[in-house]
Amino acid sequence: SQKIEQNSEALNIQEGKTATLTCNYTNYSPAYLQWYRQDPGRGPVFLLLIRENEKEKRKERLKVTFDTTLKQSLFHITASQPADSATYLCALGPGQNFVFGPGTRLSVLP
């Protein structure tokens, strides 16, 4: 069955460092992968989309890579700030049959 894992349930880093979050999947061949941010008590907010034929996408301090051979996506936040503290979810799909990962709760410490 399809399985999506995100590297850890929680990740603590110091302000100013680069946060790297991992999304791994098995028994799945996604056409695209998305990353969302979720703050407590709120709905997820879309951050980035990367398609299977793309290796890397950037948006301001965010960078996403997608390796279909390793079946893995890496999500980087450079120059992290306390305001980046949130839960980050990866989501995979063909079409609209979305499957979300369990999320990684990131805490950026001042």
Partner 1 sequence: DTAVSQTPKYLVTQMGNDKSIKCEQNLGHDTMYWYKQDSKKFLKIMFSYNNKELIINETVPNRFSPKSPDKAHLNLHINSLELGDSAVYFCASSQGRGGNEQFFGPGTRLTVL
Least distance to partner 1, CB of residue 16, Å:
28
Instruction: Note whether 109 binds partner 1 by CB under 8 A.
Output: no
Instruction: Note whether 46 binds partner 1 by CB under 8 A.
Output: yes
Give the DSSP H/E element, type plus range, for residue 14. strand 10-14
Strand 99-100 versus strand 86-93 pairing type: antiparallel
Q: Which residue's structure tokens are 């709760």?
A: 105
- The CB density around residue 35, as the number of other CB atoms within 10 Å, is 23
Instruction: Note whether 97 binds partner 1 by CB under 8 A.
Output: yes
Query: Which position among 6, 34, 80, 85 is part of the footprint of partner 1 (CB under 8 A)?
Result: 34
19/92 with CB nearer partner 1: 92
- Work out the burial of residue 66: count CB atoms within 10 Å of its CB; fewer than 13 is exposed, 13-18 middle, 19 or more buried: buried
Q: Judged by CB under 8 A, how many residues of this single chain contact partner 1?
A: 22
Residue numbers of the site for partner 1 (CB under 8 A)?
Answer: 31-32, 34, 41-46, 49, 51, 87, 89, 93, 95-100, 102-103
